[in-house]
Amino acid sequence: MALRLSVKIGKLILKNPVMVASGTFGYGDEYRDFMNLKELGAIVTKTITLNPRKGNPAPRTCETPAGLLNSIGLENPGIDNFISQKIPFLCGLGIPIIVSIASEDDPAEFMALARRLDTIKEVMAIELNISCPNIRRRNSADGFSVIDRGGCGLISQDIEATYNLVKAVRRETGKTIITKLSPNVTSISEIALAAEAGGSDAVSLVNTFIGMSIDVEKRRPRVAAVTAGLSGPAIRPLAIRAVWEVYRNITIPIIGMGGIMDTSSAMEFIIAGASAVSVGTANFINPAVTREIIHGIRRYLMKNKINDIKRITGSLKI
């Protein structure tokens, strides 16, 4: 039986539905000794900003029960260094490259980054990381604003800001736009609808949950930034619920993520409504986990006599 694992995300055609999540796979070259990168459906790069960033002070990570707290702070080389130093390797892989972008304080930086990337044909899609912290309220030339939430405002926590930002970026690029959503909201479906209305070709969900951990002997936070993003299998049930909820409310594809550790957990997201999945924290534990999941999905389809992965998406029986 011929198996079809390819999926369509906007203009992207992925040969299989498994990609790697931003911030957990570097820029690809860090993992080339552990697996054949050409097997991946796509690579999502570590988030890029206009200028280089050193990130947050250490300690920036700590393990928690079935999870990982991290507050890296968008450490990255900046767009100029990314284009000159990272793009050549990525372009040689022959698989879709999705570049994750964020602003440091002015949301207009998203448009500047999108314009730069729009000229690079090898970049197939842009992921809007609208979970970037410390975004103050300001009005841009494009007429959108972001709510200041005590220095921790996220664009993706505001319906209007999400819509206006996606719409503004849409005017700057013809590439596929994937909007990465935060789970730290009252209704993630409303935010997803705003992204869709603004012109996003897909949404990826979920980003990390805000959490913290305390060293009880020192009575100090285990992460210098005090709060941090929680990822790993601890958040998977919450992430799957979010995918299922959003799937019933939007028409664009969903890329599911949050605690995917193996084939079974990847299939949970697809059955809940994800067209593709993105593997994050598991890469730190098993650098070849994505390859194992790709082969595991093939075995699942063969076992269940299903010839097309698209028949599984949203197939949850209630």
152 is a catalytic site residue: no
Which residue's entry shows tokens 């990609």?
A: 19
What's the rounded Cα separation, in Å, for the pair 229 and 218? 22
Asked if residue 130 has pLDDT above 80, the reply is yes
Task: State pLDDT tens for residues 215-247.
Answer: 999 999 999 999 999 999 999 999 999 999 999
pLDDT band of residue 135 (cuts 50, 70, 90) is very low
7-55+75-216+231-311 CATH fold: TIM Barrel (3.20.20)
Place of tokens 């300001």: 138
Provide the pLDDT for residue 104: 86
What is the separation, in whole angstroms, between the first and last Cα of the chain? Answer: 29
* Domain range annotation of the chain: 7-55+75-216+231-311
Q: For residue 229, give the amino acid letter.
A: G
Per-residue pLDDT tens digits for 95-112: 999 999 999 878 899 999
Instruction: Report CA torsion sign: 185, 188, 192, 197.
Output: negative
Q: Taking residues 85-100, report their average pLDDT.
A: 96
Per-residue tokens: 56:
């947050």
Q: How far apart are CA 79 and CA 45, in angstroms?
A: 12
Preceding amide of 59 cis, omega within 30: yes
Residue with tokens 């604003």: 145
Q: What φ, ψ does residue 44 adopt, rounded to 5°?
A: -105, 120
Contact yes or no for 228/69 (Cβ under 8 A):
yes
From the number of C-beta atoms within 10 Å of its C-beta (0-12, 13-18, 19+), residue 150 rates as exposed
Rounded to two decimals, the pTM is 0.94
Classify the phi-psi angles of 100: left when phi > 0, otherwise alpha if psi is within -120 to 50, otherwise beta.
beta
* Arithmetic mean of pLDDT over the chain: 93
pLDDT higher than 50, residue 293: yes
Catalytic residue among 62, 91, 132, 152: 132
Q: Which amino acid is at 99?
A: V
What is the per-residue pLDDT for 132? 59
Beta strands in the chain (DSSP E): 7-9, 12-14, 18-20, 42-44, 61-64, 67-70, 97-101, 123-129, 176-180, 202-205, 209-211, 214-215, 220-221, 228-231, 254-256, 276-279
pLDDT of residue 1: 76
> pLDDT per residue over 243-261, tens digit each?
999 999 999 999 999 999 9
Give 50-67 pLDDT, tens digit per residue. Answer: 999 999 999 999 999 999
Quote the pLDDT of residue 151.
36
